[in-house]
Structures are given as C-alpha cells and as structure tokens.
Chain A
Amino acid sequence: MGKLTIGCFSSLVGSMTLDWAVKLSGAAIEKGHKVDLWVSGNATMLSIQDQRAFKDYSSLEKPLKELMAKGLNVTACEACAEARGYNKDNTMEGFKRFSMDWYLASTFNADRVLHIGGE
C-alpha cells in the first residue's frame, strides 16, 4: 500500500474543496493507504473544534474524527491558524499543528502528492 500526501488550502465554509479532500482521504484509507492531510491558509478553518453543523454549510468534524480514528494524519499550518485566531485551545483533539516544513517532510516519502490550492 502507498502513502498519499494531500495539501489543501481552501476554506471549510465557502468552498466544497475540503469536503472533497476529506472524502478522498477516506477513500484512500479504506483502500489501506496511509494518508497525510495538510491544511494551510484558509483550510486551517478545518481544525477548529465544536463547529456547529448546519445543513447549509460544510461541517467535517464528525467524518474527520472518524477518519482520524482510522489513522488519518491531519496537520494544520500553525502560522496560518494563529493568523486567523485559531489557537491551540480551540483546536480539535487529535489535530496536529506544525510549521510548513512538516508538509514538505511528508512529501519526502509520499508515493503521490495532491496539492489543492486555495481560493
């Protein structure tokens, strides 16, 4: 089985791109692949805990936690998060926060890198 590194830079609310990235992560994990998901820029919105799930807006906390329990490795860009006021105290449990070199390191031994730019 392989390793997939996904970098996503699109926001959770206002875009469906993160929904797609999380679904792709799930599909890869179901097939037995290892997945690193890096969120940077507006995509760090994904890391905030206790977001209220309305049916009109994307809400990924539940599927994300299920995938993390299955081994999905999710990391947010710490600087991008802090710039938006997303700090350690309001970060979802299990969501890692590192600097950008973590993403590059993840690509080092990835079989495929899928980089999804921001808006």
Chain B
Amino acid sequence: MATTKLGFIIQRPGYKSENQKLALTHAIASQSVEIYLDDDDEVICDVAFTGDGVLNCIKDQKALENYDLSSTESHIKMGLLCDLNILVCKEDLEKFGLSKSDIVIDAEEFGADVEVKVVPFEEINKMMDDVNHLLFF
C-alpha cells in the first residue's frame, strides 16, 4: 500500500478566475482516483487557503443568485463531505478583519463529519512540508 499526498494551496480570491474552484474540484477528485491505481494505493489531498485566497471561505455566498453558478462555499462544503483536510490561515483572515465566525466551517446539512480548521500559518507550513507535491492555485 502506498500513499501520495498532495497539497492544494489556494492564494487567489474567488469570482475573478476559476482557479479556486478548479483547485477544489481536483482535490475532490481524489475520491475516485483509485480506479487508476492498484488496490490499497491512494492519493490524499489537503487544501489550504492563504493570502487573498481566504476570501473564498466567506459564508453566505450568493453565486447562484448573481451568476447562476454554484458557489465556492458549496465546493468547500463538498470537500468537507469528502473528508478533505481544509485549512484556513488565521493570520491572513485577520488581515481582512475576518474571523472564524465569518467563514464556512462545516457542512452539517450534507452530513459532513469534518470541519474547516482555522490555523496559524505555521501549521499550513507543516502541512506543506508533509506532502509529496504542492499545487499552487
């Protein structure tokens, strides 16, 4: 059994480009990657929002109403439903005057067991050290 860990680092804000959504959809695709791999091999994806990217996590996004598009918020919730480890940089949130109460934390309505973790950058750095490959969006 072998595991490859990928770290998805989302640094750019939403609704200006599709980067953040592509990051999340690619990370969520780890749920079906086994069709290409040998038994027991796996690819695990961690996601971290840093810099301007933390703005993607603001809750109550109205993308459906304004753009007729699914929101980045709903993608984050799908990521939680898939048990992705999703981190948000505490210091970068604070730079925007935001805190844990301003962002999407859970996806209880979808039945997700895990929550978004607001962590110091040090922990995101540790995650980046732990993964095999980093993908910056």
Interface residues of A (CB under 8 A from B): 7, 9, 40-41, 79-80, 99-105, 107-110, 112-113, 115, 117-119
6 A-B contacts (beta carbon < 8 Å): A41-B22, A101-B31, A101-B32, A104-B30, A107-B132, A107-B133
Interface string of B76-114 (1 = CB under 8 A from A): 000000000000000000000000000000000000000
Contact A9 B19 (CB under 8 A): yes
Residues of chain B within 8 A (CB-CB) of A103 are 26, 29
Taking chain A's interface residues, is the majority helix, strand, or loop, or is none over half, making it mixed? Answer: mixed
Contact A104 B6 (CB under 8 A): yes
Taking chain B's interface residues, is the majority helix, strand, or loop, or is none over half, making it mixed? Answer: mixed
Chain B residues within 8 Å of chain A by Cβ, number:
26
**Which residue on B lies nearest to A110, using beta carbons?**
B133
Does B63 reach chain A (CB closer than 8 Å)?
Answer: no
Q: Report the minimal beta-carbon distance from A60 to chain B, rounded to whole angstroms.
A: 21
**Which residue on A lies nearest to B10, using beta carbons?**
A117
Selected from B26, B35, B41, the residue in CB contact (under 8 A) with A108 is B41
Residues of chain A within 8 A (CB-CB) of B25 are 79, 100
Residues of chain A within 8 A (CB-CB) of B136 are 115, 117
Contact B35 A101 (CB under 8 A): yes
Residues of chain A within 8 A (CB-CB) of B29 are 99-101, 103-104
Alpha-carbon separation in the docked complex, A40 to B25 (Å): 11
Selected from B19, B35, B37, the residue in CB contact (under 8 A) with A118 is B19
Selected from A100, A101, A113, the residue in CB contact (under 8 A) with B133 is A113
Residues of chain B within 8 A (CB-CB) of A40 are 22, 26
Alpha-carbon separation in the docked complex, A79 to B28 (Å): 14
Query: Restricting to B1-55, which residues have a CB under 8 Å from any CB of A?
Result: 2, 4, 6, 17-19, 22, 25-26, 29-33, 35-37, 41, 43, 45
Alpha-carbon separation in the docked complex, A101 to B82 (Å): 14
**A104, A105, A108, A112 — which one has the most chain B CB atoms within 10 A of its CB?**
A104
Supplied contacts A107-B132, A113-B6, 17 more A-B pairs, CB within 8 Å: A7-B135, A41-B18, A41-B19, A41-B22, A80-B22, A103-B29, A104-B30, A104-B33, A105-B36, A107-B4, A107-B43, A108-B2, A108-B43, A115-B133, A117-B136, A117-B137, A118-B18
